[in-house]
Amino acid sequence: MNSDVWNKCVDFHGHACPGLAIGVKACQAAGERLGITFSPDEEIICVTENDACCVDAVQVLTGCSTGKGNLIFRNRGKMAFSFFERSTGKKIRIVLKKIFQKDGTDRQALQKEILDSPCEELFDFKEPSFELPEKARLFQSYRCERCGENTAEPAIRLVEGQKVCLDCYPAYSRGWQA
């Protein structure tokens, strides 16, 4: 493990931890399997199935970010990452297979174990169950007619003929999905 790479991730995240180490190793595995490096735009896409510390390593090492639209949260509570390389069509889903228990094990020792482990011992490698997400789009904004805040078109709903944002949209739980 390159200490400069690790330190860059720690600086961004704010501290060293086992979760950050998982993200570093997932990016290492994606690099080895797909040949990806840093994405200055949307060449690489990561769909993460969690919102944990590991995602900060993904941002630092791959250049994927929510602002560019190439870091997509599909939160399932799983330590799983699907990487797509737009120009080649290559893709992989990387899933943590080893369960790291919080049973009093020293966090620094656990972090070292993760960083020192071969990727094949840490992860299962699969095909993503979904297609490559489309490139980020720019949307028209509309003013919510209840709270007055500007809202992107896909997040506007109609209520009694008024355009409203998701925060002002009343919940309806009879099988309709927002």
Residue 176's pLDDT is what? 57
Can you point out the beta strands (E) in 26-161? 44-48, 71-73, 80-85, 91-96, 123-126, 141-143, 150-152, 157-159
User: Where are the alpha helices (H) located in 35-106, listed in sequence order?
Assistant: 54-62
- State residue 103 phi and psi, 5-degree precision: -105, 30
Residue 177's pLDDT is what? 58
Length reported for the chain: 178
pLDDT digits (tens, 9 = 90+) for 150-162: 999 999 999 999 9
Single pTM value for the model: 0.82
Q: d(Cα 49, Cα 177) in Å, to the nearest integer?
A: 20
Give bridge partners of residue 80 from the DSSP assignment.
95
Q: With contact defined as beta carbons under 8 Å apart, do 83 and 45 qualify?
A: yes
Q: Which amino acid type is present at position 20?
A: L
Q: d(Cα 63, Cα 70) in Å, to the nearest integer?
A: 8
Domains and CATH numbers, the chain: 3-126 (3.30.1330.130), 138-178 (3.30.60)
* pLDDT < 50 regions, the chain: none
Tokens coding 40: 């200055």
Q: d(Cα 106, Cα 109) in Å, to the nearest integer?
A: 5
pLDDT digits (tens, 9 = 90+) for 7-23: 999 999 999 999 999 99
Give bridge partners of residue 129 from the DSSP assignment.
none
Q: d(Cα 88, Cα 94) in Å, to the nearest integer?
A: 18
